[in-house]
Amino acid sequence: MHIGVPRESDPGQRLVAATPQTVEKLVALGYDVVVETGAGADASIPDDGYVAAGATIGDTDAVWGCDVVVKVDAPTVSEVARMHADATIVARMSPDDDPALVEAMRAAGVIALNLNSVPRISRAQALDVLSTMSNVSGYRGIIEAAEAYAGMFGGQVTAAGSTPPARVFVIGAGVAGLAALGAAGSLGATVRAYDVRSDVAEQIESMGATYVRVDAAAQESADGYASELSDEQEAATQRVYAAESAAADVVVTTALIRGKAPITITAEMVAAMRPGSVIVDLAASGGGNCELTVPGEKIVTENGVTIIGYTDLPGRMPKHTSQLYGTNIVNLMKLLTPGKDGQVVLDLDDVVQRGITVTRAGELLWPPPPVQVSVAPPAPASAPAPAEPAPAVEQKARKGTGVLVAGALTALLVVAAVAFSTASFASHLTVFALAVVVGFYVVTGVTHSLHTPLMAQTNAISGIILVGSLLQIGSTDTVVTVLAVVAATFASINIFGGFSVASRMLAMFRKEA
């Protein structure tokens, strides 16, 4: 089969659905790739690069006459008319908003695969273009904010004086929000973030940001998105948004609920912000989270607040975004080509393939059936009712009493051991206690982002062993000294091995020369 890569028809779209790197992978799957002349020009990819990767360069008719056509944006009705029956079109589409296009694809008998509807399940992450675009948008949004902000993001200490770091507040800790707070933190800003899903607090804090806590929090719905807020939750979050935006230099909003943007920053909140502050509305494509956002534009309010509502942030970084998007396409084609023989095999029994299929062989398959993505399965109807839980206050009191009793018993045992033991045992016990304390503070002083759960546990143990063994190496007892040397050796191997593993992990993210 032939895969066609056309030039995007929207003159403002700088992305392309394939790069030379992804073309090589498509060819390895057994496909012949045809790229339209100049398709990658806006992404700084010349035609020669595609040819070197194994593709051929063709005109518009040659590309749209291929068995599979991969695009960034949805095709037009006239473009669909160029395709032959049973051909496959892969692109980002909005079937609910463009019924005329859906009908054109059905009537033409083509297989239409919508990349915007990839189910949010673990094994589909490699083809999730929404996450790809959100990741780039979050990063680019901070770049735009840094350009519009009148100061520096990182604090400076110089002979001429010092400047404080910028204070950035991020609303939403999805893919875009995490990318934004990571980029802002890397520039030296003080970052605070909030999400209605309280279970993402650990993700926020692991990246060095401060999680703003609110008592009323929403839960994640079954389709992987945050559920809508109740009136009480809405009031609580509005109070947080008002306080945080008034104190922030840069506010980044990312809230989208099934493509629609709820208002999180009102006109009154904007009026309370300092002159020179910046709002980056990453949800501008859905109408905007800020009440004053103008989608597609950057404006300055009467009180000097800059509101950035660009909807083409991924396209402002076309080279890398095209590479990431093209990789999503490759992963999809791997799924559709189980035999690696250049033949598309659509399996509608697969929830991922069914979830993205809009039309096939003249049949309308949209909307797809819902996919349960919640990690907690629903309780069976016949399950017995849970026992009445003890009141929270009573449970807390019981827990506190248990801790006090355990602490008292431990203290008595330690006192008894010291009082009725030899002087050498008391000395060893003191060394052990100091090793535990010092080891604990040494390990916990390492930032969370450098730990995996396994490394954190083993390094904590190794830190305690190393400190204790170093204190015992000078013992007059030969057996104690030998054991201390052996312990220090193995603990050091584990610790330095951890550094080696961390170095290899970091190397994976370094740009190749």
List active site positions: 120, 125, 128, 131, 225
Tally DSSP H helices, then E strands, for the chain. Answer: 16, 17
- Alpha-carbon distance of 288 to 263, in angstroms, equals 7
- Quick count: other Cβ atoms within 10 Å of Cβ 25? 18
**Tokens of residue 218, six digits:** 């929403």
- Alpha-carbon distance of 75 to 390, in angstroms, equals 59
Contact between residue 375 and residue 128 where contact means Cβ atoms under 8 Å apart: no
**Buried b / exposed e along 401-440 (16+ C-beta atoms within 10 A):** eeeeeeeeeeeeeeeeeeeeeeeeeeebeebeeebeebbe
- Quick count: other Cβ atoms within 10 Å of Cβ 375? 7
**Tokens of residue 152, six digits:** 């520096």
- Alpha-carbon distance of 173 to 50, in angstroms, equals 37
**Left (φ > 0), alpha (ψ -120 to 50) or beta: where does 84 sit?**
beta
Question: Which residue pairs, CB below 8 angstroms and at least 24 apart, start in 201-204?
Answer: 203/173, 203/178, 204/173, 204/178
Pairing of strands 32-36, 56-58: parallel
Q: Which distant-in-sequence residues (6+ apart) come within 8 Å of 15 by Cβ?
A: 8, 42, 43, 72, 314, 315, 318, 321, 322, 325
Residue 224's nearest CA partner among 373, 117, 391 is 373
Write phi, then psi, for 503 (nearest 5 degrees).
-65, -40
- Alpha-carbon distance of 172 to 200, in angstroms, equals 9
Q: Is 124 helix (H, G, I), strand (E, B) or coil?
A: helix
- Alpha-carbon distance of 352 to 289, in angstroms, equals 30
